[in-house]
Structure 1
Amino acid sequence: MAAPSSESQFVTFSLGDEIFAVPVEVVREILDHEDPFRIPHGPDYLLGLRDVRGQGVPVIDLRLRLGMARTVKTPHTRILVLDVPVADRVLALGLVADRVFEVVPFRKEQIENAPDIGIRWRSDYIAGVVRRDVGFVVIIDLARLFSDSGSALAHMGAGSMGTGITAAVA
């Protein structure tokens, strides 16, 4: 009898026409979009702070962090509140997503490495890609995305791990 394949659960969301995913275990909750409290002199992708159950959580425009155009708020825009393990601490972050879809399982053997194009490029945030019927899902390596030496976020938002997901998905 063959051993069962190992599977991991991911929350899928879109930024424009592209589909991304993060591990379900880092997602604390999914909130409707509200404009955050602005923080002066922060990086352009840091939109500000949002109160999440008594904790000030930095809200990130993930589109800007990935070099895409700024998010334009729609009725489907959501904030994924994440607890991201980085080095010896946990960062509480709110990521703005154009739309949140669902929790999906991916088998380990479905996850491919970031594409090799023969030169170095900003793919270090890609933990892997999963082929779908139409296109791909990019799994984001959150620890890498928010732990580079130039990241103002590496010094913000330490919090505790969440226990579940509360969704406000339309």
Structure 2
Amino acid sequence: METPIAIKIPEHVLSFSLDQEFFAVNVTKVIEIIEVPKISKIPKAPAYMSGVINVRKHMVPLVDTRVKLGMSATAFSVDTCVIVVEINANGQRLAVGVLVDEVLEVIDLTREEILPPPKFESNDYERFITGMFSVEEHYAMILDLDQIFSLHEVIALESVTQAENEKKDQTTKRTKQPAQ
């Protein structure tokens, strides 16, 4: 049986750091990278939910990526920033801000440079790590943003965004009504 010929397809990923570890996401998921804006906290939100932020007059849920991945909470520094990404879940697209320690660079990879994630007894992470690649003497994990959040979490993120945007729309309508 013949072995299929590997086709070299470049993968463009945006690399970033979390707690001195390296990660990456497909650049097609990235909407923009911004400085950390004012964060509005949400009472009783899950620990990974930092709150909501205003991105071009739209309320966007902000996730502390370190907490979501089981690390300590983000320690804000001059390099801390937000990557606004698009996730596809439940048949809908949702903008989410992911808090990262530092954005590094866009890297072009070939399929051959992408290694499969390691296999362990408990592969809870396997659903959201699509591969790994070498960065100098370290490895970076490629995250599948659509898989990091469960359906329940996506619905919660959507409801936060919708509630905040509806509240803002009502306020805008009230301020635009003519005085009688």
Question: Normalised by the shorter chain, which TM-score bucket?
Answer: 0.7 to 0.9
Name the counterpart of 1:36. Answer: 39
Rounded to whole Å, the distance in 2 between the matches of 1:106 and 1:52 is 30
2:89 to 79, 86, 89: 86
Name the counterpart of 1:135. Answer: 138
1:19 to 22, 28, 31: 22
Is 1:146 the counterpart of 2:149? The answer is yes
- Structure 1 residues 98 and 83: alpha-carbon distance in aligned structure 2, compared to 1, 3 A threshold: same
**3-state SS of paired residue (1:63):** helix
Q: Is the 8 A contact 1:10 1:104 kept in 2?
A: yes
Stretch deviating more after TM superposition (50-59 or 146-155): 146-155
Name the counterpart of 1:113. Answer: 116
Q: Is the 8 A contact 1:91 1:156 kept in 2?
A: no
**3-state SS of paired residue (1:5):** coil
- Structure 1 residues 87 and 148: alpha-carbon distance in aligned structure 2, compared to 1, 3 A threshold: closer
TM (norm. structure 1) is: 0.84
Is 1:75 the counterpart of 2:78? The answer is yes
Structure 2 unaligned regions, length at least 5: 163-180
Per residue, is there more helix in 1 or in 2?
A: 2
Name the counterpart of 1:104. Answer: 107
Q: Aligned Cα RMSD in Å? A: 2.0
1:55 to 55, 58, 83: 58
Q: Give the ranges of 4+ consecutive aligned residues of structure 1 lying more than 6 Å apart after TM superposition.
A: none
Structure showing greater relative contact order (alpha-carbon pairs closer than 8 Å, 6 or more residues apart): 1
Name the counterpart of 2:169. Answer: none
CA-CA distance at 1:35 after TM superposition: 3.5
Rounded to whole Å, the distance in 2 between the matches of 1:68 and 1:13 is 15
CA-CA distance at 1:153 after TM superposition: 2.8
Q: Over residues 64-115 of structure 1, what are the superposed CA-to-partner deviations in whole Å (9 max), with x where a residue is unaligned?
A: 0000000010000000001112241111100000000111111112111210
**3-state SS of paired residue (1:69):** coil
TM (norm. structure 2) is: 0.79
Identity %: 31
